[in-house]
Amino acid sequence: MELLREEFTLLQRECLACGRAGASYLLLQPADEHDLSGIEEEAKLLAAFEDKGQLPGHGLLIAVRVNDWSSELSPWEAPQPSGSALFGDGAPAFLEKLLALIPELQRRFGLSEDCPVLLGGYSLAGFFSLWAAYRTDAFQAVAAASPSLWFQGFMKYQRGRKPRVEAVSLSLGDKEEKTRNEMMASCGSAMRQYYEELSELMEPGALVLEWNPGGHFDENAKRTARVFYLAEKMLARRA
């Protein structure tokens, strides 16, 4: 399976593209150094999922470098799980950067303007993707693996509001809520509540939640590839 791999800087932001030419979906993933090291593996896993699922197309994965993880993915100041530091409030500005990148990426890789754009990621990047779905209708789907739903204020923020996307794909490790950190241990109950509340708002076939074996740091690339694939699958069924 031959996949293109291209590192480049666009609008003063480092990017890494992995996938196959002539993509049917543009997949955007905020990524730090750890995520970037697994993007090629993720793209290969995603391509394998796509081939096995016999979708009418495949995705081009674009990892966009996050320069400050605790600020650029955070919509407002809130306590971090440990220590006295606070998350920042840089998410609105980072979202604007992503929105500006979309047409540039479409031109660079020869994608049509109506190519579905999916936003997703792991951990805080997954949380950011869900938050972004309430702020813009630029994305057709969001894919959130192990999203930080424990982030203070988010469950209240989203309550009663429908994400402005056609599909939402979620996953969580079945051991993540067993951590000793009280804040992070709330991820399981928050996910169950979030899924239940979204189920009342999303159309049938537009929402999925998978539970994966393991804790928060297990098989990040595989889990992220999987939620992107499930989001693509839901979009394909709704087309």
Residues 176, 186: Cα–Cα separation, whole Å: 9
The per-residue pLDDT for range 189-238, each reduced to its tens digit, is 999 999 999 999 999 999 999 999 986 777 899 999 999 999 999 999 98
**Span 183-203, pLDDT tens digits:** 888 998 999 999 999 999 999
Q: Mean of the per-residue pLDDT values for the chain?
A: 94
Centre a 10 Å sphere on the Cβ of residue 198 and count the other Cβ atoms it contains: 19
Of 44, 71, 145, 63, which is closest to residue 101 (Cα–Cα)?
Answer: 63
pLDDT digits (tens, 9 = 90+) for 122-160: 999 999 999 999 999 999 999 999 999 999 999 999 999
What pLDDT, in 10s, does the model give residues 90-123? 999 999 999 999 999 999 999 999 999 999 999 9
State residue 180's pLDDT score: 87
- Which residues on adjacent β-strands are paired with residue 7? 16
**Rounded to an integer, what distance in angstroms lies between the CA atom of residue 180 and that of residue 92?**
31
Asked if residue 226 lies in contact with residue 119, where contact means CB atoms within 8 angstroms, the answer is: no
Q: Identify the structural domains of the chain with CATH numbers, from first to last.
A: 4-238 (3.40.50.1820)
pTM of the predicted structure, to 2 decimals: 0.96
